[in-house]
Amino acid sequence: MNKNILLCVSGGIAVYKAVALVSKLSQAGANVKVIMTASARQFVNPLSFQVMSKNDVFFDTFDEKDSSVIAHIDLADWADLILVAPATANVIGKLANGIADDMVTTTLLAATGPVWLAPAMNVHMYDHPAVKRNLAQLQSDGYQFIEPSEGFLACGYVGKGRLEEPEKITAIVQDFFSEKAKPLASKTVVVTAGAFYVPLDERHVISTQSNSRIGQAIAKEAQALGANVILLDEKATSVYKLFEQLEDYKKQYPSAFFIHAANTPTTEEAPILSVEGMTAITFGQKVIGEPMVTIMSDKWIDFSDTAEVNGQMWDATDAKQFAQAFWTYILQGERQ
């Protein structure tokens, strides 16, 4: 693989799997360096990671092992990929809110390359609204996730929350760095999905219906094709907030693909999104400017069995297949 992987280890019983993960990544040819939180060191001694990685282990922000560089900046710049595994609720919350109070979080905030988080915690913690909000924020910020698996947890519960197996994580990393062409590599894709509302008065709103299936499938396929994906799929959110976020991303990523798959209100009170200066694909919403492609359907796309794309009828019953056809069509148009 011949890539630099920075593994950030936070404190949970799954830390023992992180030792095996270092071993698997090293066997696959990666050069691995490890940062540990104080809580992680309560479960596993840093020496275990040092032996497996054959590199120094970092855990103190103020312990500069090389006086010619600032350690957390140097590590962030060194990594081709940063993995946070296990990613506890604590470190997820800190990162989502921009808190940098130890070696792991300061390094993560200094990172400009891809960062993947592999959550691991009790099933009820994983389902807690605060954790879900933090995960949604990180997803909007462009972080990628290796979803936890389901099974018997250390706390005695059975459910979703197990750190994915080291072999599976290693395979995902290898696929990411494979020589197989990824047509959206180095591209940013911003996807809106879900239902949004416009305030009517102090007590009422006008909202739409959506289950996000098409937008989420398009975002997932874009990630598989190598894109940096930003998915805006917040529940019970004002369309004004959505459009403000999109305007910010337009400035931040002027060459991005903007896939507007969110169902937004069309009343007189509702604002209208401007797609001028954007490479935008819309789903029949009223917009200002000319989208690259407009996809139409008899019902909202999430609930429709078919969609019309440039005069052709597509099957929309299977969201994954629709997303694959969508990106094949869009990328063919880009090449022409």
Is residue 36 domain-shared with residue 162, that is, in the same domain?
Answer: yes
Predicted structure pTM score: 0.61
Return the pLDDT at 45. Answer: 96
pLDDT at 336 > cutoff 60: no
Helix then strand then coil, % of the chain, to nearest 5: 35, 25, 40
In a domain, 181, yes or no: no
Is residue 221 domain-shared with residue 166, that is, in the same domain?
Answer: no
Domain boundary among 149, 176, 203: 176
pLDDT tens, position by position, 137-154: 888 788 888 888 776 666
Is residue 152 domain-shared with residue 199, that is, in the same domain?
Answer: no
Q: Which of 144, 102, 148 is nearest to 8 (CA)?
A: 102
Is residue 288 domain-shared with residue 170, that is, in the same domain?
Answer: no
Residue 30, classed as helix, strand or coil, is coil
Q: Which of 152, 153, 156, 81 is nearest to 117 (CA)?
A: 81
Domain boundary among 176, 209, 241: 176
Binning pLDDT at 50, 70 and 90, where does residue 205 land? confident
Q: For residue 66, what are its two tokens? A: 């090389």
Q: For residue 79, what are its two tokens? A: 């990594």
The residues annotated with a catalytic role in the active site are 155
In a domain, 202, yes or no: yes
| Overall average pLDDT of the 208-218 stretch | 94
* Structural domains of the chain, count: 2
Cα-based distances in Å from 242 to 122, 191, 236, 239, 317: 32, 11, 11, 5, 27
Angle formed by the axes of helices 166-176 and 15-27, nearest 10° = 40
